[in-house]
Structure 1
């Protein structure tokens, strides 16, 4: 059986197993759904291979719900979130900064609303999760981040849950407000800060998986300017901030990097293109304070998306918080760029006597086959497979 047939067989199997996993009790006959009607179900929500699991939709609201269902089973108090972060799917900058609240205080996902309404899939997921209320945050069950319409507010009020809001529509201002909110709830202000470009999601988005996992916030600059809100947030660190600029000078200029030095130590983490930039962030580790993934050896998990859908990348950010914690890597629709392929080759697990020794790699893939093809999923799967240290054929016997 060839690789594509294997994926097809797994799809049919999972389709049978997961036929009852629908949104709002509805079904959709299309096996590969990309639709603005987020009240419809994804017929095959997950597609698995031996080393990968695909969140099988390219609709961001649906993807956020599937990520939530994957990580929070809501079958016990321990598997329910404390709170849920809700934000506008159309504003990637605010949504990305909001992922700082995934770990603390929420231990919960980011879900999406639209400009004028909350998708039925999101409402159903909020009911399924039934957030416990964050003890450190006065029992809040939903944190709205960014602006919200009266109709959205009414739909959420009808849920009879305890709601808080971090208001505002300017990304730099809202990001700074999230930083303040986090510090108040946590009881301390993180000294580490990730600085990203508000204009270049392809270079900034690798930060979301880290801040969903650790306390550092994401604050914004433009290529040549430090917004006042960002400057004030950095000033609150009293010159002791550990500042990590993410992206090359084409996204954040050397002028801005120099301007940031008055607030603390500045380190740039960058690559020449979005693929290499994400790899650089996945590899980086600050030995002085432990900041960064530092992934340079086998035995890890990764989250793959394409560069052209920031909302999908943000929906998948919780994959760095629970389970096999995963940094974000970018891929192309039909296969991995050479830089990503080479990185995974360096991380390929090797066994001496038996593949049962481990370690193993795994990847989450977010997006249907219109975003990342089945062939590309198969390629990622192959590159994560454990192989003999001798270099022999891994399938010729042990």
Structure 2
């Protein structure tokens, strides 16, 4: 592995690695790719706000994802109890404009007071949403998202319901929530938390998209939701987190417009890939669902690409009679301890142009 670190750039002709030895360094590199410019971001699409979520708990980051979409254009910043020097410098570089939003930074759940004071000392306004209880916070963020509607109509009429107990099966929905602004509610496997029940009763016409198998959100919970809602209730499931990520990428609902609909061969699709056991990289990858190639997330392992993902990529990448575009692309996140170089090369083999 040391030889690989010395010899290779970490990129291939159709894959780009967003480097970092830990989540914060990967996140900063992703932010600098998405919002380039120094000493401050200079692009017209620079952030309008920032979503600040605690780095230690996936629930708050997942539910915060709906706030990313325009007009907020507010990337999720995962933070520890105190901003590091690198994080402070990056937040300064991003310098969110704060135009037509209630604050330049949205603090989700139990973000520490130390971080809040640091942000204020940088001259940024703050707004707290939620508390230390994840299910209540998922409702608070969802209510805020509905009250301050995203530019996409999808975020006004539809919600995601993900597990608040395990993360792998719901991870693929996070990037789409950033892409279209759908609120993200959380549930327990065997019961709907009281706060979430109340939200659904108060918004009976919403369409609910359950992302995950019955191992993460039970059939009984689904039945309870169907009994409460006038809108549609649709589950996107699979036999594993990998298959769920494939099915989510493939899915499109013509009645609501919800879904990536990446289901036509030869379109030159781009994807992000992270290990199924790393929710932080999953959240970070969502930035590339919000901007740029608008890439869905496909889950893999450090040392292998699951067969269901390989089959999907091969389906989307048929043999072509010419070398003309479009071409496929993949982003991988983290260092070689997150996704090995060999796995990245194997990913390249799945998506490179296949010619007669």
What's the TM-score, normalizing by structure 1? Answer: 0.82
Which residue is 1:209 aligned to?
175
Q: Distance in 2 between matches of 1:254 and 1:90?
A: 29
Q: Distance in 2 between matches of 1:145 and 1:175?
A: 9
2:31 to 68, 76, 83: 68
Residues 167-193 of structure 1, C-alpha deviations (whole Å, 9 max, x = no match): 301111111111111122228872211
Q: Distance in 1 between matches of 2:271 and 2:23?
A: 19
Which residue is 1:328 aligned to?
297
Shift of 1:286: 0.4
Shift of 1:221: 0.9
Contact 1:52 1:364 in 2 (8 A): yes
Shift of 1:48: 2.2
1:262-301 mapped onto 2 (5 Å cutoff): 262-263=228-229, 264-297=231-264, 298=266, 299-301=268-270
Q: Distance in 1 between matches of 2:148 and 2:196?
A: 20
Which residue is 2:210 aligned to?
245
Q: Distance in 2 between matches of 1:382 and 1:6?
A: 18
Distance change in 2, residues 1:387/1:158 (3 Å): same
2:66 to 97, 100, 103: 100
Shift of 1:113: 1.4
Q: Distance in 1 between matches of 2:113 and 2:184?
A: 28
Shift of 1:149: 2.4
Q: Distance in 1 between matches of 2:212 and 2:173?
A: 10
Q: Distance in 2 between matches of 1:87 and 1:204?
A: 18
Shift of 1:58: 4.4
Q: Does 1:118 align with 2:67?
A: no
Q: Does 1:343 align with 2:312?
A: yes
Q: Which runs of 5+ in 2 are unaligned?
A: none
Superposition RMSD on alpha carbons, in Å? Answer: 2.0
Contact 2:211 2:235 in 1 (8 A): yes
Shift of 1:215: 2.3
Deviates more, 1:187-196 or 1:88-97: 187-196
Deviates more, 1:59-68 or 1:202-211: 59-68
For this pair of structures, how many residues does the alignment match? 345
Q: Does 1:157 align with 2:120?
A: yes
Distance change in 2, residues 1:226/1:241 (3 Å): same
What SS does structure 2 have at the residue aligned with 1:212? helix
Which residue is 1:16 aligned to?
none
Q: Does 1:197 align with 2:160?
A: no
Which residue is 1:179 aligned to?
142
Residues 139-192 of structure 1, C-alpha deviations (whole Å, 9 max, x = no match): x21111111323222222211112111130111111111111112222887221
Shift of 1:232: 2.1
Q: Distance in 1 between matches of 2:251 and 2:272?
A: 17
Deviation >3 Å, runs of 4+: 5-10
Residues 102-151 of structure 1, C-alpha deviations (whole Å, 9 max, x = no match): 1134213211211x31122211111111111132x14x211111113232
Q: Distance in 2 between matches of 1:175 and 1:121?
A: 29
Q: Which runs of 5+ in 1 are unaligned?
A: 12-46, 391-398
Which residue is 2:99 aligned to?
134
Shift of 1:360: 0.9
Q: Distance in 2 between matches of 1:6 and 1:387?
A: 27
What SS does structure 1 have at the residue aligned with 2:302? coil
Deviates more, 1:142-151 or 1:269-278: 142-151
Contact 2:53 2:76 in 1 (8 A): yes
Contact 1:102 1:110 in 2 (8 A): yes
Q: Does 1:369 align with 2:336?
A: yes
Shift of 1:200: 1.8
Q: Does 1:227 align with 2:158?
A: no
Residues 221-256 of structure 1, C-alpha deviations (whole Å, 9 max, x = no match): 11111112212222232x322111111111111100
What SS does structure 1 have at the residue aligned with 2:115? helix
